[in-house]
Structures are given as C-alpha cells and as structure tokens.
Amino acid sequence: MNLQKAIIGKKVGMTQIFDESGKVVPVTVIEAGPCVVTKLLTTEQDGYQAVQLGFEDASEKKLSKPEAGHLKKNDLPLKRHLHEFRLEDTSMLDIGDTLTVDMFGEGEYVDVTGTSKGKGFQGTIKRWNGQRTPTSHGGGPVHRHAGSMGANSTPSRIMKGKKMPGHMGSEQVTAQNLVVVKVDPELNLIAIRGAVPGPKGGLVYIKNTVKTHREKNVSNQPRRINPQKASARR
C-alpha cells in the first residue's frame, strides 16, 4: 500500500454527467475539504506515520474541552471533525497546512469510507440475502423465517456465525477502486463514479486506493485459439 493522498468530505448526492463519447456516467458528488493538518504522527514517537486532518469549521461550544485545547495549542482553527490517516511519508506536511481537493486528478482510483444507512431490525432475507421457503403445499406462515437453528442433541446450541435477524446498517463501509471523474477546486467538489456509502450529508473519507492497476490494451491482443477445439471443429 502506498497511501499518500487523503481528505475528509461530505456527501452531497448523486447525479449523472456525460463523458466525451456521450455516454451517461453515474457519479456521487462529494464536498471535500479544505482540511487542516492538526497533528503529525511519526515512527520515532508514535510507532507509525500518520496525519490528523480537521474538517468543517465549528464554534467552541460544539467541541469538548480536550478537542478545543488540542487545536488551540497550535493556534489552529476549530474544526468539527477530526480523523487520522496513515501515510507512507509525512515529511512533506506541516501542522497548519491546508489540503484541498485538487490533490486528486481525473482518472485516479480512490477508496471512499463512510457510515452506511441504518435500516433498523431486519429479517434474514433482507439482512443476509436469504431465500424464502415454498409458498404452496403446506408451507405454513413461515415463508420468510430463518429456518433451522442447527442440530438438536449435538451440539445442543446455536453455532457461532449463524445468520439471524438483527440490526442492519449504521456501520463503517469502504467502497474500493472508484474512479475520479471530475474535480472542481473552486467549489471544493469531487465527482466519483458510482455510489459511496452513507446518506446525503454523511461524512466520508477519501484516500487513494490500496489496489494496483495494470494498463491493458485489449484491441491489440491476438485472439487465443485452442488447437484441440479447432481440430474438432474441422
């Protein structure tokens, strides 16, 4: 992993834009930054390298005393949201620096982390994509129930990991390998292809992807023919 870019943003919503060939591209618009570097962590002092960013101005009464004191110590503006990102190298950053959305470029791949929408208490079909039982031949009023809990006398208990009804959503989710379609530094907006976790107005964390990519030119690659299948067709 070579994580060098990170920023905090707020999900605005989804829309669609047209690319150069006229195709419709669904995108999620995120208001990202500006973020202030509020703390630097080093390997010598903390055991790892990371940067803490602050996002969205806030009044002092909205913050706790430790949060306000942490920012006032370095004469930094009060920020409502603080988040830490692990970086490979923090030597290029200083406390008080401002990071903006123009650090990302069109065509880059990013990972977006957010808190998914809460869906409350849900059954096994919605929560785990289960299958309902047959609705005829005496199926009874249990078409959407969880079904068997396991064996009876042995082991006489429900095994760990059994998919059962329960609370769904409101958890941290990361959408990986998304493409940056457009960046607007003047409005602090970034358009990312596809959907990202969370509702409108939800807080998201954007960083360059942990996956690797290889350029492939499919049009110039010769078609592979199996000689055995070719002889069988003859």
Radius of gyration for the alpha carbons in the chain, expressed in angstroms and rounded: 25
- Specify the pLDDT at position 135: 86
- Specify the pLDDT at position 230: 56
Q: Hey, is 116 helix, strand or coil?
A: coil
Q: How far is CA 43 from the centre of its chain?
A: 26
Q: Which two tokens stand for residue 98?
A: 């401002």
Amino acid at 8: I
CB-based burial, 18-37: b 16+ in 10 Å, e otherwise: eeeeeeeeebbbbbbbbbbb
Task: Enumerate residues 6+ apart whose C-beta is below 8 A from 196.
Answer: 11, 28, 30, 112, 114, 175, 178, 204
Which of 175, 173, 166 shows the shortest CA–CA distance to 127?
166
Look at strands 166-168 and 120-122 and give their pairing: antiparallel
Annotated domain spans of the chain: 120-133+141-168
- Specify the pLDDT at position 140: 83
Which of 154, 174, 150, 153 shows the shortest CA–CA distance to 162?
150
- What is the mean pLDDT for each group of 10 consecutive residues in the chain (234 residues)? 80 92 93 91 88 91 91 90 88 88 91 95 94 87 88 88 94 94 93 94 92 57 57 58
Sign for the CA dihedral angle at 19, 100, 199, 179 comes to positive
Cβ 207 vs Cβ 110: under 8 Å? yes
Q: Which two tokens stand for residue 49?
A: 């390298």
Cis (ω within 30 of 0) for the bond into 34? yes
Task: Enumerate residues 6+ apart whose C-beta is below 8 A from 100.
Answer: 7, 33, 34, 35, 185, 188
Q: How many CB atoms lie within 10 A of CB 127?
A: 18
Q: Which two tokens stand for residue 199?
A: 């509702």
Task: Enumerate residues 6+ apart whose C-beta is below 8 A from 46.
Answer: none
- Specify the pLDDT at position 218: 44
